[in-house]
Amino acid sequence: MHRDVFSMRIELLVLGICLMALVAPGLATLPSDAQVINLDENVSGYAPGAYYRVEISEPATLQVILDQVPAEMQTRIAIINEEGAWLASEDAASPGEKMTVEAAADLPGWYYIAILELSGKTLVDPYSFRVVTV
């Protein structure tokens, strides 16, 4: 019985992440548990996805470089400012596609990065990305 409740909770979590991934760009509700990362840090994660946050000290262009992606992962990358406005969002054209997404970060502060698997599949292999300023 306990295992059934646990499985149901996992399924609901995956469903929630999938629904968040399909929300049209606009204003987002920022996750309070977004993992803090540093600029130019190699970060690995597992699909269905997660939110990360990075702080910049001066205006710049943020680039999110997805350089390792499982062959079956259909990726969405979004860059969101600390007010919840979507600055950029891009979907991979095909599963396994490496990609770079960029957005103007006009103010110092926190920016959120979403790396999501569009179909909500849980994958065994990790993705890897980094955030840089240009």
Which range marks the domain in which residue 21 is found? 2-133
In this prediction, what percent of the chain has a pLDDT beyond 90? 74
Q: 109 near 56, Cβ under 8 Å?
A: yes
What is the C-alpha to C-alpha distance for residues 18 and 41, in angstroms, rounded to an integer? 26
List Cα–Cα distances, 83 to 58, 92, 102, in angstroms.
Answer: 17, 25, 18
Q: How confident is the model at residue 4 (pLDDT cuts 50, 70, 90)?
A: low
Give the model's confidence band at 17: pLDDT under 50 very low, under 70 low, under 90 confident, else very high.
low
Closest by CA position to 35, among listed 21, 23, 46: 46
CATH of the domain at 18: 2.60.120.380
Pairing of strands 109-117, 49-56: antiparallel
What local confidence, expressed as pLDDT, does residue 19 receive? 44
Q: What is the number of domains present in the chain?
A: 1
Q: Give residue-wise pLDDT tens across range 62-90.
A: 999 999 999 999 999 999 999 999 999 99
Do residues 33 and 90 make contact, with C-beta atoms less than 8 angstroms apart?
A: no
Instruction: Please provide the DSSP assignment of 92-114 as one string.
Output: -SSTT--EEEEEEE-SSEEEEEE
Give the residue among 79, 75, 23 at the shortest CA–CA distance from 48: 75
Q: What pLDDT sits at residue 31?
A: 87
**pLDDT given for residue 124 in this prediction:** 94
pLDDT digits 0-9 by tens, 83-128:
999 999 999 999 999 999 999 999 999 999 999 999 999 999 999 9
pLDDT tens-digit series, residues 26-63: 566 788 899 999 999 999 999 998 999 999 999 999 99
